[in-house]
Amino acid sequence: MREIELAACELFRAMPDVYERYVAMPTPEDALLRGIEARTLWVVESGGRVAGFLLAAPVDGAFHIDELDVDPLFGRRGLGTKLVEYACEFARDQRYPACTLVTMTSVRWNAPWYRALGFRELTWDELTPTLKVMRARERERGLDRDRVVMRKEL
């Protein structure tokens, strides 16, 4: 997973401030292990190789997509879309009312792509308590620039 996450970070290399923050703060191993235990970490393969992954967990009654990465070598093949669609189907089957996530607005493969998948931006007043805490922690880590919380009703 770490190799895929680092490869995906390379897409941000042209944005040095963003790139340095994301490379320095990978998804913690314990979060990945919790996702494996909870069966909310999914991988997608291509050519017999793991090409991407999605990590999610319940947050304030919704199903929150915490991390989505696809190795750029396998990009533009719909693998990220498949992972998001699978997570939303899982959430629907588990009777969650929505999927949420936090992403950047200025990068074309982030917020605009999620909008195309049916997610909408939430205002501060629409955020649940945990989502507000998540945004505050991002600000503390210097990751608040261009960030938005999004939600898709299921």
For the domain that residue 73 is a member of, what is the CATH number?
3.40.630.30
Q: Look at the chain and report how many structural domains it folds into.
A: 1
Give the pLDDT confidence score for residue 96 in this predicted structure.
98
**What domain range is 69 assigned to?**
2-153
What one-letter code names the amino acid at 55?
A: L
Residues 6 or more apart whose Cβ sits within 8 Å of residue 116: none
3-state SS of the chain is CHHHHHHHHHHHCCCHHHHHHHHHCCCCHHHHHHHHHHCCEEEEEECCEEEEEEEEEEECCEEEEEEEEECHHHCCCCHHHHHHHHHHHHHHHCCCCEEEEEEECCCCCCHHHHHHCCCEECCHHHCCHHHHHHHHHHHHCCCCCCEEEEEEEC
- Flag whether pLDDT at 153 surpasses 70: yes
> Comparing 86 with 7, which gets the higher pLDDT?
86
Q: How far apart are the first and last CA of the chain?
A: 28
Tell me the average pLDDT of the chain.
Answer: 91
Q: What is the pLDDT of residues 83-122, one digit of tens each?
A: 999 999 999 999 999 999 999 887 777 899 999 999 999 9
pTM of the entire structure? 0.91
Decide the pairing of beta strands 62-70 and 41-46: unpaired
pLDDT reading at 6 higher than 90: no
